Structure 1
Amino acid sequence: MTAASGTSDDDRAADAPGPVDEAGAGEAPSDQVNAAAPDPKQAAAPDDVIREPEDVEPDTADGEGGEARQVTPEGEPAPMEEPDDSLRKRAALVYNPIKVDQERLRDLVTRMSESAGWAEPIFFETTVDDLGDDVTRLALEEGADAVLVAGGDGTVRAVSEAMAGSDVPLTIVPSGTGNLLARNLNLPLNDPELMIAATFAGATHPIDIGFADIRRHDGSRERHAFVVMAGIGLDAAMIANTSPQLKKSVGWVAYVDGAARSLATAKPFRVMYQMKDGRLHSAKVQSVLFANCGALPAGIALIPEASVADGILDVAVLQPTGWFGWIGVWRKVWWDNSVLRRFRAGRRVLERRGRNSSVRFLRGEGIELATSPAQPIELDGDEFGEAVRIRCTIQAGGLRVVVPDGHDTSRL
């Protein structure tokens, strides 16, 4: 319809709809009509044509349909940008560069992350000054959805300390000397690819983590975690006397040399200890061990009742008297716990046998122990100086560890 079609401006204005008055009449005052109706000349600008909606061509380019697409500055088709990596899951790997094959490990984690559709992983190397706890906290702050740790028992301990209570899954890639936590979890020790793959397609299992509150001779206090075992006395001295070079060459067997050198000068010391909600005891001991789990290499069950998933702290008080006392300790740990307990007949023998006074086993939610002078302490095989007081507790289910799909956790 054009402005020159024979209909006057006044006629169009008269036909325009207007508000109905209260009496129902179809007419309204002229000033209301003029306010409601658009000005024809303005509607027809700039070419004196008033267009209806069906007169407007669709807003497409070159007649193409489909979804919008990204183009280059020259107008050429370009692939859409990848989604923001912050919207994809990301794994972090914390590793001890001395204990692992760095390049192979990083390559495996990178390739498996990509295959799983995760973002490019982030990597952290441990140092002498940072065993892994600080960089693990950094990884968690950066939003890591899973953390893998590769190194010795000390590296696993430090990373676990930072992850306690975070609810982020922890994958243990067995490396280094002892792999004690991996052994107690019955994880594959010689298949890093299987453990890395489990990060993206495996299952998780909650386990306990121990904490040691330490007071030094000067009154200073520290708090550190342990995932396997802590100790005060001879066991810590044994670790301090173990040659790092020998340990690197022959692995955990090097502790035998450290034990031999420590036993030659070992002297009992007085302790006062009390299990949580229990009685106060005094004893002369060679060592006291605080266990989250109790299996050692070579099938030695140091504390056979210890479980990594029962929420209970197990304690072994070693108080041998002379060399015969040490023979009693060795018989209890090696023969009784590690051999006889495996068989029904052996367990019957143990039931008939009296209590071994050289070793005393305790269980509970926690223990506090004091001694003077200060004695050496260790956490998961690393020496931690000396202390006059130590309080050990268990955080039940404080860690979520990754296990391969179908892994048997019934014995944990």
Structure 2
Amino acid sequence: MAASGSGEDTPPEDLAPHPADKVYADGPSTAELDLAAVEAHAADAESPAPDDGAAEDAQPGAQQAAAPDDVIREPEDVEPDTADDETGHARRVGPEGETRPMADAGRPSPKAALVYNPIKADGDALRETVSRLSAEAGWSEPLFYETTVDDLGDDVARQALSEKVDAVLVAGGDGTVRAVSEAMTGSGVPLAIVPSGTGNLLARNLKLPLTDPTAMVAAVFDGDTLDMDVGWCRLTRPDGELAEHAFVVMGGIGLDAAMIANTRPELKKAVGWVAYVDGAARALPRAKSFRVMYQLVGRRLHSTKVQSVLFANCGSLPAGLELIPEASVADGDLDIVVFQPKGLFGWLFVWRRVAWDNSFLRRFRAGREVLSLRTKDNSVVYSRGAGIELAAQEARPVQLDGDEFGEATAVRVHVAAGGLKVVLPRGHDTDGL
């Protein structure tokens, strides 16, 4: 399939319109958005499911068009979400924190399991709360698992599922939540997110109580659930090796991943997400655009030079920043954002779009009226679809939910619609989710 052109000055005309652009003078109408949604879901239904078999079947058309250059170094896959110098495998513990055999003796259902990062969460308090509320609800004694550098939570989450638990709770940083969600996707077992780390990005986007862990534990026994979408990203390494991981907030290739890679770990531990400002300061001076070939499901193949491409399930960031207005975790689609600023003024337009237009003006009627008199800027291009295939001529850094995932020459992303059942407090407002 031929590429649609360079795309250097204007966004490709055949990309699905995004509701974030509706507020602008040249934005899509409601009818256009509705039609695009119908077409996108029809294209998704007609497209074959990703084949996890032979490697050659996993190579997207975009990658073939990009023809990657020489092999570039491959960093470590995942940044550990635990303490420095800590090693060893995850373990199952008892109510007092004592080590117990990984396999349970077969306690009766219903029963819950708690997976927690002991560096990010107060394990003693959480174990006591889960044990107490389980007993009050008439459930069996819960299972407890601590994560370590060798297991971010996915393996012990699978162990919990093998014990036939009726619910899983996760407490830790964004990396722990991502890993446990990956293991839980498709299981049908509810997952309760107990906010514990510094980012809490998924909890923020779900509008969960960030300072009341007891409320989220209680919701396991008397709350509601929501079938949430999960993104899957298949990475092609410079040597051709394939790896696939899930994400629940957003992933990206390019500058956003470089910013995360340049963030000092000790600073992140000290000040949390604010440390990414340091990473941005380190990455931006060396930032150079790079050419990619990309294709959304059911759309044409495109070529353009970018700084970064994001594929997102959620749109809100800390400090009230709305990166992707109208993003939804339960619409069966992923939101695609292409950053293609040109020079200093281009970056100013990016800042205006994200920090001013998205995060401030559109909150007020007067602000929306101002935006309706302006046309949208092409430094940031929004679209939406069931997935995207993308390839670069050189390996580029990749991040998923704020963790480094090494470098890749190509990514193939698709959405598992409603793949994860998440727990919400009873009567939780789901408008806008």
Normalising by structure 1, we get a TM-score of 0.79
Separation of aligned partners in 2, 1:85 and 1:281 = 54
Partner Cα separation in structure 2 for residue 135 and residue 192 of structure 1: 21
Percent of residue pairs bearing the same amino acid type = 68
Q: How many correspondences in the alignment? A: 329
CA deviation profile, 1:246-274 (whole Å, cap 9, x unmatched): 11111111100100110011111110001
Name the SS of the counterpart of 2:371 in structure 1.
Answer: helix
Equivalent residues of 2:296, 2:389 under 8 A apart: yes
Equivalent residue for 1:268? 289
For residues 183-262 of structure 1, the aligned pairs below 5 Å read 183-262=204-283
Superposed, 1:97-136 pairs within 5 Å as: 97-136=118-157
Q: Which amino acid letter does the alignment assign opposite residue 239 of structure 2?
A: D
Match of 1:155 among 168, 176, 199: 176
Corresponding residue of 1:308: 329
> Which residues of 2 match residues 25-104 of structure 1 at below 5 A?
86-104=107-125
| SS in structure 1 of the partner of residue 243 of structure 2 | strand
- Structure 1: state its 5+ residue gaps: 1-83
| Counterpart residue number, 1:55 | none
The Cα of 1:88 is off from its aligned counterpart by: 2.6
Q: CA deviation at 1:343?
A: 1.3
Q: Aligned letter for 1:154?
A: G
What amino acid maps onto 2:389 in structure 1?
E
| Preserved contact between residue 309 and residue 339 of structure 2 (Cα < 8 Å) | yes
Aligned to 1:77: none
Secondary structure of residue in 2 paired with 1:301: coil
8 Å CA contact retained: 1:85, 1:119 = no
Aligned counterpart for 2:378 among listed residues 357, 381, 396 = 357
Q: CA deviation digits over 1:138-191, x for unaligned, max 9?
A: 100111110000001010000000000111000000011110000000000000
SS of 2:372's equivalent in the other structure is helix
Q: 5 Å matches for 1:2-21?
A: none
**Contact 2:326–2:432 under 8 Å retained in 1:** no
1:393–1:293 distance in 2 versus 1, CA, 3 Å: same
Match status 1:334 vs 2:355: yes
Is 1:166 the counterpart of 2:187 in the alignment?
Answer: yes
Larger radius of gyration: 1
Give the deviation of 1:244 after TM superposition.
1.2
Which whole-Å CA distance do the structure 1 matches of 2:276 and 2:108 have between them?
Answer: 47
1:353 positional shift? 1.1
SS at match of 1:144: coil
* Alignment gaps of 5+ in structure 2: 1-104
Q: Which residue of 1 aligns with 2:162?
A: 141
Decide which of 308, 328, 334 is 1:287's aligned counterpart.
308
Q: Distance in 1 between matches of 2:384 and 2:197?
A: 30
* Runs of at least 4 residues off by over 4 Å: none
In 1: Cα distance, 2:217 partner to 2:165 partner? 15
Mapped contact 2:309–2:337 kept (Cα < 8 A): yes
Counterpart among 363, 366, 381 of residue 345 in structure 1:
366
Root-mean-square deviation over aligned CA pairs: 1.1
Given that 1:99 and 1:176 are in contact with CA atoms closer than 8 Å, whether structure 2 keeps it comes out as yes
Deviation (angstroms), 1:392:
1.1
1:385-396 superposed matches below 5 A: 385-396=406-417
Secondary structure, in 3 states, of the residue corresponding to 1:270? Answer: strand
In structure 2, what is the Cα distance between the partners aligned to 1:85 and 1:374? 47
**Take 1:105 and 1:338, find their aligned partners in 2: how far apart are those partners?**
34
Structure 1 distance, partners of 2:298, 2:145, is 42
* 1:370 has 2:391 as partner: yes
Out of 197, 204, 227, the residue aligned to residue 176 of structure 1 is 197
Distance in 1 separating the partners of 2:327 and 2:415: 12
Q: Which has the higher contact order (CA 8 A, sep 6+)?
A: 2
